[in-house]
Each structure stands twice: as structure tokens, then as C-alpha cells.
Structure 1
Amino acid sequence: MFGTNGSAGIAVTDPTKQEEIYRALETLKKDELGWKKSVESFIGPHKPPPEEQFLLLQVIEDFLNKRYHSSNSQDVAIIRNFLLHYTKTSRSSPEDQPVFLTNKMAHIFSLVFAADFPERWSTFFNDLFFNDNITDRKIAFFYLKVLLAVDVEVVNRDIQRTKLESDRNIKIKDAMREICINEIAKSWLSIANSLSGDDVIQCLILENIASYVDWIELDLVANDYVMTYIISKFQNSATSEAATSAVCGLLEKGMPAEKKVGLALTIMAVLRNSGLLTVNDNNDEDEVTRVGSLVNTLGLVLLDVQNK
């Protein structure tokens, strides 16, 4: 298949072999069994290096995008076992894999989720994450990445969708509200409390809240526990930007005018009492930008309500 310098196949790390790699990749995508070969190579006893894994995932991604929706039960089982195998082996690996590979795999998970949930795999999150130790750092990191990838695949309004995709996404969100969104919201605080000193994880949690708050039940975020958590993250320069995004996402959430005014005034009071809406000569540029973003969002929200 592919290979690294000194290995059989095409040396994927050789910059002079890019055209050859592209041809081999396209050939594998067109091969009806190419995706199965890629899965077998990915999970085989001789794990390929990250660069080759990335190419194999591109083949699997192509299959998921083009042919997976009409797959038979055997092929569905192969993909499901592939995901289960990945979650099992990645958490026990002594080394963290490259971010580019984690992001690609999270995208693969999101494609399977969008295709299978809820009809073919209603227990997706239970089987892959909730039945395990969700507060383990490696599991939590990938889980939060998958949630963000699901948001891009299913929810993100900045991406143009076909009517078929939009209808599918509405059904998925409705099913998530019924089946798993409460558990997902609870998991954010569980992970936050267990990995409180990990700024990367904390930022991912805040990014999740900012992404999901637009369509989940307001009470899952606008409560004492979550708001206290978000406000506390303004005190850390590493997490303050993500905390700002979470608050702005909450303020921009669609809701009746009366409810939005009450929420905006409550958040404004909390921010003011915490000293998060004032600046002075000692504040750096990032701090001024953060305060400006909060004040701007609060103002726009109140103006929007007034104009309705």
C-alpha cells in the first residue's frame, strides 16, 4: 500500500513522490474494497506511521461520504468495530498522536455519527465514550474533539447544506435532545472538575458549550453550576477567550424577548460584579479585546430585543 522511507510501498514522507502518492490514493479510493484494506492496515498488528494513517483515513472518509449510507450490515459492523478499536487502543497508547491525525479521526467519527444516529446506532456515545472513564485525559480530549466535529457536520449554520442534509440534521438534533444531550452536558462539568488544571481541556469544554448552546435546552447551560464554571475561566489568560465565546454564544441564543432580556441583565450583573466589564491602563490588548467583545454582544442583544 503506502510506506515510509525504507519500507515497502510509496515513501509518503518523500516530497518528490507527491504525484505518485496522489495516484495511489485515488486508486485506493476507487477500489470497491479500498476502504476495507485501509481499515485492515490501520488496525493491523504493524501500525503504519502517522502520515500513512492519515492517507488511509482519507480513503475511509471517501467511502463514508459516498457509499456508507447504503452499506449492508456487515460493512456497518466493520466501521463500528473500527471506531471501537480506535477508542480502545488510543487510550492505552503510551504516546499522544499528532493533532492532525486526531482531528481527522474526530471527523471520521462525526461522519459515522451523522450517518448512523439514531437509526443504526442510537448508543453511539455510550458505546464509544460514556461506558468508559470519560474523565481520563486521553478519552476526554478525543471525546471533546468528536463533539466539535459533530457540531460542524450536523449543526454549524455557516456551512451550506442541501435540503436532504438539513432534514437529516434536524432529525439528529431532535434525537440527541431525547437520547444523549443531557448526558453530554453533564460530562462537560465532570471533565472540567476532574481535569481542572489542564488548560487545553478547559478550552475544549468552553468551545463545546459555545457550539452547542445555540440549540440545546437553555437550562443545561444557564444554571448556577455551568455559569459559575464559565465565569471562573475568565481569570485565566489561557481560557478567557474561550470563556468569552461561551458567554457570547449563550447571549446570542434564540429565545423569547422577555427571557433574553432577563438573561442578558443577569449575565451583565454577574460579569460586572466579577470585574469583567471594566478595563484600565494595566490591561493588555487581549483583555481589552475580551471586554469589548462582551460589551458589544450585550449591546447587540439588547438592541435586537428592542427592535423586535
Structure 2
Amino acid sequence: MRQALAYFEQLKDSQDAWHVCAEALAKGIYSDDHVKFFCFQVLEHQIKFRYAMLTAVQQQLVRETLMTWLQSQLMNAQPEKTFIRNKAAQVFALMFVTEYLTKWPKFFFDILTVVGLNPRGVDLYLRTLMAIDAEVVDRDIVHTAEETRRNTLIKDTMREQCIPSLVESWYEILHTYQHSNSELTCQCLEVVGAFVSWIDLSLIANDRFVNMLLGHMSVEVLREEACDCLFEIVNKGMDPIDKTKLVESLCQVLQAAGLFSIQQEEDVDFLSRFSKLVNGMGQSLIISWSRLVKVSDMKGAQDTLQAIESKGPLMLQLLAHEDDDISSNIIGFCYDYLHILKQAGSTGAAYGQ
């Protein structure tokens, strides 16, 4: 085994290994999962460390290899193992980061043209988007100054050129698969939640999208992911009056669906996510209230304070829950709520008291 690994490491660094591996993937030469995984690793290594050494023709071959492999996934009798799909998505994401701003501006258009709404294709498309999020957006990953500059440019270019089309594709995927494929629907909700932090919120925070997400809150296999997605939407910075309206409209629908009746809910995993969502809504309203007070918008501040106070009973129910995850997820809202009650009390009726 050790000899085999040493051989593979040596092969990675050889001049033409990438070509052998590209051909193997494009033609489906090997059936062994570990060999396929290794072929993707070799391509990954080439793109990451030695891509500039390739000629324009060779770089084109890498692009064509990936698209041929993607096309073959739609026709194969069995989908690839998850670890191969994840590795493929990482390689697609690396290729995107390397080429999107220069040689491959139609990256997403090309992928969507191939995959359409084919479930296997959609799976790989969504995995690739999450891998791109990890490469370009994830704040937990430390980037060099050069990478940060490149990532900012990629996001700016995506906003201008393709984000509306991507959002449309997410809506189509959710609409198509929400009743028939919970795995793809949850993957898509995860993508929306990841991207919403840096794209134009109006593309997502609109009636057709939000109504669909709220519908998912009543479906057991979708509601945890829908909860997280709504949390990301609520967490996004926006005008304080608009934020209050958004939170209140969400709360009305959630309450009408019976989701505020905590005692009837036995699923602690869902309640933990729901508690996080209520915490996000409460803290967002408090930020809006503070901003409105600062600009002396007393009517807006009063409306927002009433919205905050109306969440009090729900907040206390979640805080009193015997499950630690559920009660700890709401503590931020509790703390901020007590703080503004003190503030509002000391500043008097002008702030809505």
C-alpha cells in the first residue's frame, strides 16, 4: 500500500501525468473508485500548482475533459460515490477560480447547458457551487492578499454577469424537486443560504422564493435546511424598516403554520434550528430598532419595538426548553432584549415605551 501511495505521489509530479489522468476520466477507462479519485487529485495538483506551465491547447483540453466527464455522469447507470463527486466539484471550483475572469467567463452557462434539470447533473452543479463558496467566500479560510483581491473581483464579476441566472436555476431546482427529491432540495437550500450573504437580497427575499421556503418549513425532511436558509436571509444587512417588515411577514406565516406552538414539537434537532432562526429574527429587529432610534425615526422605532416585544413569549418558551442546544441558541436575543428594555426604560416614551 505504501509503495502504491509513493508511486502515485511520484506520478503527480511527472510532466504528463495530468494528460494520462484527463484521458482516463474523459473516456471512463477505469472503474476502480480509488483510481478515479486519484485521477481527479492529479488534475487538482496540476491546476493548483502547475497550470501556467500548460499551453493554451493543453488548458483547453483540461476544460474539455471536465465537461466530457460531467456529460458522462448524466448517462451512467450508477452515480459516482459521494467522495468522487465531492473531489470532482473541488476540481471544477479550482478551474472556475483559475479561469472565470480570463478564459472561461461562460463557466456556469456551459455547466447549466449540460446538466439542465437532470438530477445527477444538478447534484454535481450544486456541489460545485458549495466548493466555489469554500474557495471564494468562506471567511474561515485564510487567504493571501492576492487571493483576497482575486476573490473580490470574482464576486463583483459574478454579481454583474451571472448571479440572476444562478438564482433562477436555484428556483427551478427547488420548484422541480421539492416534492420528489429531498436530498437535491436540501442541497439547493444550502447553496441559497451560502450565497445570500453577498448577493443582492431582493433576488431571494421576494414573494415567490420566500413563499416556497415557508412551504418547506411544513415538510419534515426539508424544514431544518429551510430554517437555516431563512436564518441567512434574516441575517443579511438591509434597511431597518424593510427588515422589520420582512421579519414580521415571516413570523405571521410561521405562526399560522403552528410553528410557534413549541410544546407540540418533539423533534429537538428541528427546534434547535428553529431557535437559531428566532434568535436571528430577534437580534435583527433589535439592530433595526437601534438604527431607527439613532436617526430619530420614532414611528419606525415604536413599530419595531412592538415587533420585538411580540416575540417575548416565544423566546421564553425556547429559553425554558430542557434541551441545552435549543435554550442556548436563543440566549443572544434574550441578552439583547434585556439590554434594550433598560435602554427604552431610561429614555422614556419617546422610544416607544
**Does residue 261 in structure 1 map to residue 266 in structure 2?**
no
172, 176, 180: which one aligns with 1:190: 172
Count of residues paired in the alignment: 290
75, 79, 87: which one aligns with 2:62: 79
Report the counterpart of residue 96 of structure 1 in structure 2: 79
Report the counterpart of residue 28 of structure 1 in structure 2: 11
Report the counterpart of residue 3 of structure 1 in structure 2: none
Cα distance change, pair 88–281 in 1 and its aligned pair in 2 (3 A) = closer
Report the counterpart of residue 160 of structure 1 in structure 2: 142
Q: Distance in 1 between matches of 2:71 and 2:79?
A: 14
Report the counterpart of residue 162 of structure 2 in structure 1: 180
Matched position secondary structure for 1:159: coil
- By how many angstroms is 1:46 displaced? 2.5
- Residue identity opposite 1:216 in structure 2: I
- By how many angstroms is 1:306 displaced? 4.1
- By how many angstroms is 1:192 displaced? 1.8
Matched position secondary structure for 1:235: coil
**Does residue 40 in structure 1 map to residue 23 in structure 2?**
yes
Residue pair 2:218, 2:257 contacting (<8 A) in 1 also: no
- Residue identity opposite 2:39 in structure 1: L
Scaled by the length of structure 2, the TM-score of the pair is 0.78
Q: Distance in 2 between matches of 1:204 and 1:112?
A: 22
Q: Distance in 1 between matches of 2:42 and 2:251?
A: 49
- By how many angstroms is 1:214 displaced? 0.5
- By how many angstroms is 1:186 displaced? 0.5
Q: Distance in 1 between matches of 2:290 and 2:151?
A: 31
Task: Give the number of the structure whose alpha-carbon radius of gyration is greater.
Answer: 2
35, 38, 45: which one aligns with 1:55: 38
Residue pair 1:110, 1:149 contacting (<8 A) in 2 also: yes
- By how many angstroms is 1:70 displaced? 5.5
- Residue identity opposite 1:144 in structure 2: L
126, 131, 134: which one aligns with 1:144: 126
Q: Distance in 2 between matches of 1:117 and 1:231?
A: 34
Residue pair 1:42, 1:48 contacting (<8 A) in 2 also: no
Report the counterpart of residue 243 of structure 1 in structure 2: 226
Report the counterpart of residue 96 of structure 2 in structure 1: 113
- By how many angstroms is 1:175 displaced? 1.1
1:181-232 Cα deviation digits (max 9, x unpaired): 1111011121222223100011011001100100111111001111011111
The share of aligned pairs that are identical, in percent, is: 28
- By how many angstroms is 1:142 displaced? 1.1
Cα distance change, pair 171–148 in 1 and its aligned pair in 2 (3 A) = same
Q: Distance in 2 between matches of 1:164 and 1:123?
A: 23
Query: What value does the CA root-mean-square deviation take over the aligned residues?
Result: 1.8
Scaled by the length of structure 1, the TM-score of the pair is 0.88
249, 266, 273: which one aligns with 1:283: 266
Q: Distance in 2 between matches of 1:217 and 1:124?
A: 21
| Structure 2 gap segments, 5+ residues each | 292-353
Report the counterpart of residue 4 of structure 1 in structure 2: none
Report the counterpart of residue 48 of structure 2 in structure 1: 65
Matched position secondary structure for 1:280: helix
Residue pair 1:277, 1:291 contacting (<8 A) in 2 also: no
- By how many angstroms is 1:282 displaced? 4.5
- Residue identity opposite 2:168 in structure 1: K
Report the counterpart of residue 333 of structure 2 in structure 1: none
Q: Return the structure number with greater helix share.
A: 2
Residue pair 1:277, 1:294 contacting (<8 A) in 2 also: no
Report the counterpart of residue 199 of structure 1 in structure 2: 182
- Residue identity opposite 1:250 in structure 2: I
